[in-house]
Structure 1
């Protein structure tokens, strides 16, 4: 059985967008290097309300943000001058390192009006030796990502190594991250060889032992466990985990192994030392003034 079961909680990341927040959780901050996970959508908004969903330029340090879409499209802009529209099945992998700002805008009204936006966003904490690396951004189209098909099972390797598949996406520590489609009645085992492993049910339900798990639950397993859950209904799953990178502090959009580094990042953002995207610099998200506990992002944390 799972070591812990995490139920997604509702959180607002802007006036127009509610998400299911999975990580961090008060009793489980990380799964391997994954320190944050949001599931947004399916989103349906009228055309006039679409701009309210836009995530204005905001900063990050000490992590990689990973965007993966089931449906729709999102436009990314960042401090490096990169503009990239991400489509379903693609991966946007942005490494913040010593500091970057980016925005995410929903520029296709038809997508929002048609309920055709659904995405998963995660943060991957960087190892201490890489926390101050230069920022970078890569988009990986779906034909560059390994896919496996078998009777009742389809999976795409988003990042890392698992089941004999290896993604082209470069990572800074051992991990795995997969999108899995599982037909009702089919079983799946979790990747082995990793210290921490999680299974998030984005759609459908799974049976393990005598218990049934539902949409919006993250099941976290120990290394020595060998669960083989069965799909009760057709399922969309996200499998993720890897080797721990050590304790991390989280404040707003900043992740670091050192509290004092986060204090520096707060001042850098206030003083404009983290550069805004050159073609999206007319507005930005100010540093929050409210107080909240270390390691807990506020409800409107941005990814």
Structure 2
């Protein structure tokens, strides 16, 4: 039934900004097309330190970044000229394709007071035919994302299809991604439409087949398994998965089915061939030292 349990690892992105990194994991690199997952926050910093949390302009290729907030707000700027504030319940879906640069800045100190900022960042690998697609960005409002409620269950479909729900979020391969909130005692089953399925426990405690699982764990289930999830307290889950795409290499913020494409992306960023956001181009994240790691090493540095 359970394929693997992944324990989130602590990663520090900036002073005051520690994240729980779930994917990639050495024994499980992807779940469906999802190749990266970070859980940031709740973040509580003093106003003078707010800008130290900013994620400066940095590049991506071969993937879509997906930003989803539980609380707070973040300002996104990218090399397409897009400037978008993302709020809780919205989805920022940025497809890097052949190459894009973007920043994420925390420009409203009030949103960080009292630990309000909390967000989930995922990367979705692209099918080979779409890895060099033109970059694109979309923001989806809560009223574009269907919600389902039942006894003790609330869930929002972020992308894809599951439980008969669909929405207009543009994806490139079969997948599902949901935000689920369970009341104490609620029972819940996994969607059956996809071959690879996992859940991340953002808050709370679950019982599955007589065993307890707690916040910070990802459970990945075997194909065809039909587990029943029991919430032992108020619990928040992120459900995700889909159809596998095949092997992908990941280095820093680059994802590709070809190692040589990763090397090209390194050169493109170093030589300025991936342009900076026109409205945020005074600073950027330099290419990190390679340290002779192969392109398949899990070394992503940025939040998204």
Match of 2:296 in 1: 295
Tell me, in whole angstroms, the C-alpha distance in 2 between the residues paired with 1:297 and 1:55: 19
1:60 corresponds to 2:68: no
RMSD of equivalent CA atoms: 1.0
1:133 is aligned to 133
| TM-score normalised by structure 1 residue count | 0.98
Q: Which runs of 5+ in 2 are unaligned?
A: none
8 Å contact kept, 2:254–2:262: yes
Q: Is the 8 A contact 1:181 1:236 kept in 2?
A: yes
Q: Which residue of the partner structure matches residue 231 of structure 2?
A: 231
Q: What's the CA shift string for 1:202-243, capped at 9, x where partnerless?
A: 000000122100000000011211011100011000000000
| Deviation (angstroms), 1:300 | 3.0
TM-score computed with the length of structure 2 as normaliser:
0.98
2:193 is matched with 193
Counterpart Cα distance in 1 of 2:294 and 2:257? 16
- Which SS does the other structure have where 2:255 is aligned? strand
Per-residue deviation at 1:299?
6.4
How much does 1:168 deviate?
Answer: 1.1
Shift of 1:279: 0.6
Contact 1:13 1:299 in 2 (8 A): no
Pair 1:183 & 2:183 matched: yes
Cα contact 2:121–2:303 (8 A) shared by 1: no
Q: Does the aligned pair in 2 maintain the 1:253–1:297 contact within 8 Å? A: no
Aligned residue number for residue 16 of structure 1: 16
Residue 189 of structure 2 aligns to a residue whose secondary structure is coil
In structure 2, the partner of 1:204 is 204
The answer (yes or no) to whether the contact 2:252–2:300 under 8 Å persists in 1 is no
Shift of 1:293: 4.3
Counting matched residue pairs gives 303
The aligned residue for residue 85 of structure 1 is: 85
Moved over 6 A (4+): none
1:294 Cα deviation from its structure 2 partner: 3.3
CA contact (8 A) 1:11 1:299 kept: no
1:192·1:223 contact (CA, 8 Å) conserved in 2?
no
Task: Note if contact 2:89-2:142 (Cα within 8 Å) is conserved in structure 1.
Answer: yes
Q: CA deviation at 1:301?
A: 3.6
Q: Which position in structure 1 is the counterpart of 2:122?
A: 122
| Structure 1: gaps spanning 5 or more residues | none
